[in-house]
Structure 1
Amino acid sequence: MLSTRRVAKGPGRRPQSGKREQFMRLLSKGWSVASARREVGVSRTTGNRWKNGYNLFHQGELVGFVPALDPVVERRISARFLSADERVDIGDRLRAGESIRAIAAALGRSPSTISRELRRHDRGDGIYRPFEAQRAAARKRARPRPARISSNPELYEVVASLLAQRWSPQQICRDLRARFPDQRGMWLSPETIYRAIYQPNSTLRRPSPGRPAARSPLRTGRDHRRAQVRAGHRRRRFAATMTSIHDRPFPPEDRSEPGHWEGDLIVGPAHRSAIGTLVERQSRLVKLIHLERADSRTLHQALVRELSSLPRHVLRTITWDQGTEMAAHEKIATDLGVDIYFCDPCSPWQRPSNENTNGLLRDYFPKGADLSTHTRADLLRVEQEFNQRPRAVLGHRTPAALFAALLASPNQPPLQ
């Protein structure tokens, strides 16, 4: 039996968002469309339109109407975009005579967002149709589609061959434009190539022996995107406050005073083994720290063991990278009586002596080698050999001789 209740015709005669939510709840409880629309008081056309949106949503096709108050919607559609509920609310508030700024404040949106929404869906008659706007927005929303590289065999072969020659994505993109000046379908952006490499089942990755996953074709070997964190939003590395290298009382080029050290770790595969390295800035003397494990407790004990016997005038400060192995830096500073300074993230040039030394030490400890196989006696042998080597920067004198002179004479004049 059809309902005799009169329903106001035309969209927006009465607020629709509350009715629609109730309609969706009734459908989810098993009510028929006719019973649900009669209960909430909407026309047959509106009920059928809402029903179609409900069915499309639960079939996984987010086209057209999106049901309200469903937690799945919030996960699948970014909050950056206006939702169906917000569009209905905009329509109701416009008909109530509210201004764009008042609507924006009520929805927690920018006035420009509301203004663009109205301008984008204006038919020229000044009437905003929220359901039509929602369907148009859903049609324009990006849909998954085959990547250009994988769908174009010729383009794929060019990109794959250049990556195999260790070309960077930027170089490949410039070459494609020069090679195919009249074929825009063969042009790419560097980001397109990076995305094709970083996707889980990338066909651009080359298989390698002994590895279950294919190897990245990038020169860096990186198979995932590195997180970009702004300095102001970067999480603190340690619980204890770090002292920045910019607060160090002398500039990087000043080596007139002995006792200032630069330190870091050289690590083995997967960071499972490590050797600590320390360089005295004036004499370039190297100390190698044997570490059973690359953690803060082990480094703390090792630094105290190796440096506590040094006189105060040759142990004033330590400058270190922001590695997690220095989490106990306050205890190290207290036990050794030194000031510890930390370089900026990704700034190895702020401790140049140590960085240069680490590169030279790779002659003894190649990259990819397990560093845990080296005993303290092995490190002492390398340390002595390294410190007995004349250095041009020291006037062809050896670090060991200069450091011995510093120990013997605290008032040693600055090295030239």
Structure 2
Amino acid sequence: MEDTYKHLDCTERAVIQVGLEQGHSLRSISQSLSRSVSTVSRELQRNHWKPPSSRSGRRGRRPVAGGYRATRAEHRARQLAHKPRKDKRLIPGNALWSKVVSLLQTGNSPEQVSGTLKRMHPKEPQFQISHETIYTAIYTMPRGELRKEVISLLRQSRKKRRPRSRGEDRRGSLPNMVSIHERPPEVDERLVPGHWEGDLIKGARNASAVGTLVERTSLFVALAKVDNGSAESAQKGFSYVLNRIDAQRRLSMTYDQGKEMACHEILSEKTGIKVYFADPHSPWQRGINENTNGLLRQYLPKSTDLSAFSQEELDQIALKLNARPRKSLDWKCPAEIFLPDFDFREYYGRILEPVALRT
């Protein structure tokens, strides 16, 4: 049996008719076709075939092959193949299409468009549509200016839609990984400082990278210069930065399953930090780090060659982020929570003093 199902063709239907005329069982017919018995059975039921048991006791001539005709079944299948089971709801020019395009033009994603329409038309199902249907309608449009125009409204504006992940991890597994699910409860509670989340952010054309670390309790950020995206380079960069921090404040690090962390055992040996790995395709398990990476893009844009930044320059960028008051910290800044010698008033006094002199 084939893994991918294919519809019966005219030759297979002819074999079914001949087998029935010769009195063969459905099982023997299905075996000769290398098909499932249920496939043959459904084909016969769709085409008004009468089994021998239902024909017993009736007068008149018995229908040949139980009434199944291959040519008639093939004609019916061709007609149904051209007729959609359901009319399309999202067609260029109809009212729903106009609403979807209008919302896309304001910068909304298809998922946001779907949510907005549900809120705006809670009692009008004809104006409610899933984001998958929107994507399908856009990417199945025939080639032309209208297709280009609508695709340009999407944030990525890709000519073809990428296939969705089915959950499998194609990157392979790192040696001796310790899962995030084995992490001590104190890490989740964020009461004890010293537990970090790590990642790499890439520069232009993914040709350069910078290591990012954020402490879960204080939101304190540390940046590591990484010569390239190799595991050895990442290990050296993270080791250098972590060893500048007191041993009591570098207890664990949670990372994704990127290949750059293949040397995690060497990292643990050099720094004493315990490395835990998040599940594949689960960025929310390192949400603090993901959010911090977004903030860092203000200073380290994707279009930049990140290899041009020295470790000293990265430290200055980290300081700017660590000195920002954070609402989640009751308007304290990460530096004054994590660094005992950081003076908040002195730091901002130097910034505000020139303004005071000009007034």
Return the TM-score normalized by structure 1: 0.60
1:140 aligns with 2:80: yes
Distance 2:293 2:155 in 1: 22
Q: Is the 8 A contact 1:205 1:217 kept in 2?
A: no
Q: Is the 8 A contact 1:197 1:216 kept in 2?
A: no
Corresponding residue number in structure 1 for 2:114: 170
Match of 2:181 among 229, 246, 256: 246
Corresponding residue number in structure 1 for 2:46: 120
**Aligned CA distance change for structure 1 residues 79 and 356 (closer, same or farther; 3 Å):** closer
Corresponding residue number in structure 1 for 2:223: 288
Match of 1:201 among 131, 143, 152: 143
Deviation at 1:118, TM superposition (A): 0.4
Structure 1, residues 66-107: CA drift from partner, whole Å, max 9, x if none?
A: xxxxxxxx9xxx742123443333334334434334444554
Deviation at 1:153, TM superposition (A): 8.5
Deviation at 1:217, TM superposition (A): 1.2
Deviation at 1:263, TM superposition (A): 0.8
Corresponding residue number in structure 2 for 1:69: none
Q: Is the 8 A contact 2:169 2:280 kept in 1?
A: no
**Aligned CA distance change for structure 1 residues 204 and 103 (closer, same or farther; 3 Å):** same
Corresponding residue number in structure 2 for 1:228: 164
The unaligned stretches of length 5 or more in structure 1 are: 1-73, 208-213, 407-416
SS in 2 for 1:115: helix
Q: Is the 8 A contact 1:269 1:370 kept in 2?
A: yes
Tell me the matched-pair count. 318
Q: What is the one-letter code of the residue matched to 1:351?
A: R
SS in 2 for 1:80: coil
Distance 2:214 2:299 in 1: 17
Q: Report the aligned-residue RMSD.
A: 4.3
Corresponding residue number in structure 2 for 1:301: 236
* Larger-Rg structure: 1
Which stretch shows the higher mean deviation, 358-367 or 379-388?
Answer: 358-367
The unaligned stretches of length 5 or more in structure 2 are: 51-62, 342-359
Identity level (%)? 39
Corresponding residue number in structure 2 for 1:412: none
Distance 1:154 1:403 in 2: 56
Relative contact order, higher structure (CA 8 A, sep 6+) = 2
**Aligned CA distance change for structure 1 residues 191 and 389 (closer, same or farther; 3 Å):** closer
Deviation at 1:264, TM superposition (A): 1.6
Match of 1:326 among 254, 261, 270: 261
Distance 2:256 2:228 in 1: 18
